[in-house]
Copies of this chain bind each other. A is one copy, B any other.
Amino acid sequence: MSPAPEGSASRSTALHTDRYELTMLDAALRDGTAGRRCVFELFGRRLPGGRRFGVVAGTGRLLDLIRDFRFGDDELRFLRDERMVDASTLAFLEEYRFTGSIAGYREGELYFPGSPILTIEGTFAEAVVLETLGLSVLNHDSAIATAAARMSIAAGDRPLAEMGSRRAGEHSAVAAARAAYIAGFGATSNLEAGRTWGIPTMGTAAHAWTLLHDTEEEAFRAQIDALGVGTTLLVDTYDTARGVETAIRVAGTELGGVRIDSGDLPIVAAQVRAQLDELGATGTRITVTSDLDEFAIAALAASPVDSYGVGTSLVTGSGSPTAGMVYKLVARQDATGGWVAVEKASVDKSSKGGRKAAFRTLDEGTATSELIAVSDGFEELETAVTHPDARALQVPLVAEGEPDAAYLGREGVAAARQHHARVLEELPVRALALSRSDPAIPTVYIEAV
């Protein structure tokens, strides 16, 4: 028998979790450490792919998913049948809901190595089990948003549409459309992203449309009948010059646009523009969509292209499909209730213990550093930074288990997109270059007194 489809009604998000989170929980309930209050930190040790900045995305999705992180009958039955945890752990999970707090960077914010993107505080038991889900969401969505931001910079004022759903897992595709929109894309081809997140959708026709018809002319005529003369016709199924000629003959010079999906784009775009102008279709726009990434977009800056559609390279993070963030215990209570900063010393994978407060220092509005105040304790952090022009980067996201509604749903996406556009303005010019480099600003740690 086929199981209920993953993601269907009866499924919570609670099993999107590595098994070891639950074996640790099991052992902690047994040895009495489960109730120790802990601070976990979600951060990236480095920026992937020689990027100059990272873009935080996924936060709003994660807050929604944490709300659904409950162990129902189905989840408990699976864990019991597989003998993964003992009866007292099952009883704990049955009652589980996250009651702690999460502070962190706003969605759309920039981040740098060591930025404390999320700070999760709660008991060990309630906070450790969120590791896998938190990293899955933030690592995927931030990788896409970071690539998208670079593409947006390369495109300048020309609109960008996301159309990579077919090159990503069917759910990741929706998340990718959302992340791209936050980082400056204007639309997506993905209908579920339109429905769930309110992102504008776009799309007209594929090559199959032309092939379905006996002639290209019939296909164009039928498309214009259905979608109007403002539509975009795909002109490269057989021969692009003939396609353009046919398009204008059928649609007239008021045709909205043509799309080119193959060939050497700078050359083809120039040829098509010249042909359109010669035919009098000076207002017909040119959209290009063939295997674009930020470098190809930049290379088209001087070409007569009006908009870009980006697929594969967007949804695969343009060479860096995961942000590589980690979720580490940085402080905890000891047996007496006192706080201890903790860190691991593993080669190349060390962590920095202690709770952090993060600020972006600015000089006349331009970012100069990621300033991170570190404390063994907790009270000092608020007053640790006396820099005259430093923007605090962390906001409360979840209080006593309840997410702040401002960061959820469509409103959260719209706010994240606005926030991203605003903070991007703070970057120094060198941060906008596409070549591999060090982070655009240094991460500076200070010890809180």
Q: Which residues does A use to contact B, with CB under 8 Å?
A: 1-3, 5-9, 11, 13, 15-24, 26-28, 30-31, 33, 36, 38, 40, 64-65, 68, 74-75, 78-79, 82, 84, 124, 128, 131-133, 135-137, 139-141, 163, 165-175, 189-192, 194-197, 201-214, 218, 222-223, 225-227, 236-239, 261-264, 290, 312, 315-317, 321-322, 324, 327-329, 332, 334-335, 342-349, 405, 408-410, 412
Whole-angstrom CA separation of A170 from B7 in the bound complex: 11
Q: Distance (Å) between the CB of A57 and the closest chain B CB?
A: 12
Determine which of B124, B239, B322 lies in contact with A312 in the assembled complex, contact meaning CB atoms within 8 Å: B322
- Which of A13, A211, A261 lies at the interface centre, i.e. has the most chain B CB atoms within 10 A of its CB? A211
When C-beta atoms are compared, the residue in chain B nearest to A173 turns out to be B136
A-B CB contact pairs (8 Å), 7 listed: A2-B412, A3-B409, A11-B192, A15-B192, A16-B170, A20-B204, A211-B329
Whole-angstrom CA separation of A346 from B409 in the bound complex: 40
Q: A227-B23, A343-B211, A410-B3 are in contact. Are A65 and B322 (CB under 8 A)?
A: no
User: Is the CB–CB distance between A166 and B135 below 8 Å?
Assistant: yes
User: B residues within 8 A CB of A2?
Assistant: 64, 405, 408-410, 412
Q: Distance (Å) between the CB of A129 and the closest chain B CB?
A: 11
User: Is the CB–CB distance between A334 and B189 below 8 Å?
Assistant: no
Q: Distance (Å) between the CB of A188 and the closest chain B CB?
A: 8
User: B residues within 8 A CB of A197?
Assistant: 3
User: Is the CB–CB distance between A196 and B64 below 8 Å?
Assistant: no
Q: Distance (Å) between the CB of A185 and the closest chain B CB?
A: 15
User: Is the CB–CB distance between B19 and A68 below 8 Å?
Assistant: no
User: Is the CB–CB distance between A324 and B167 below 8 Å?
Assistant: yes
User: B residues within 8 A CB of A139?
Assistant: 166-168
Determine which of B23, B169, B190, B262 lies in contact with A171 in the assembled complex, contact meaning CB atoms within 8 Å: B169
User: Is the CB–CB distance between A17 and B344 below 8 Å?
Assistant: no
User: Is the CB–CB distance between B346 and A263 below 8 Å?
Assistant: yes
User: Is the CB–CB distance between B172 and A140 below 8 Å?
Assistant: yes
User: B residues within 8 A CB of A75?
Assistant: 195
Q: A170-B136, A194-B82 are in contact. Are A205 and B349 (CB under 8 A)?
A: no
User: Is the CB–CB distance between B189 and A20 below 8 Å?
Assistant: yes
Whole-angstrom CA separation of A326 from B74 in the bound complex: 37
Determine which of B17, B170, B191 lies in contact with A78 in the assembled complex, contact meaning CB atoms within 8 Å: B191
User: B residues within 8 A CB of A237?
Assistant: 344-346
User: Is the CB–CB distance between A348 and B18 below 8 Å?
Assistant: no
Whole-angstrom CA separation of A132 from B75 in the bound complex: 31
Whole-angstrom CA separation of A140 from B192 in the bound complex: 18
Whole-angstrom CA separation of A16 from B192 in the bound complex: 6
Whole-angstrom CA separation of A352 from B19 in the bound complex: 46
Whole-angstrom CA separation of A129 from B405 in the bound complex: 35
Q: Distance (Å) between the CB of A270 and the closest chain B CB?
A: 15
When C-beta atoms are compared, the residue in chain B nearest to A332 turns out to be B212
When C-beta atoms are compared, the residue in chain B nearest to A13 turns out to be B170
Q: A166-B132, A205-B23, A349-B261 are in contact. Are A174 and B222 (CB under 8 A)?
A: no
User: Is the CB–CB distance between A346 and B168 below 8 Å?
Assistant: no
Determine which of B18, B128, B169, B312 lies in contact with A165 in the assembled complex, contact meaning CB atoms within 8 Å: B18
7 closest cross-chain pairs (CB), A and B:
A20-B203, A19-B203, A2-B409, A27-B226, A169-B172, A171-B171, A135-B166
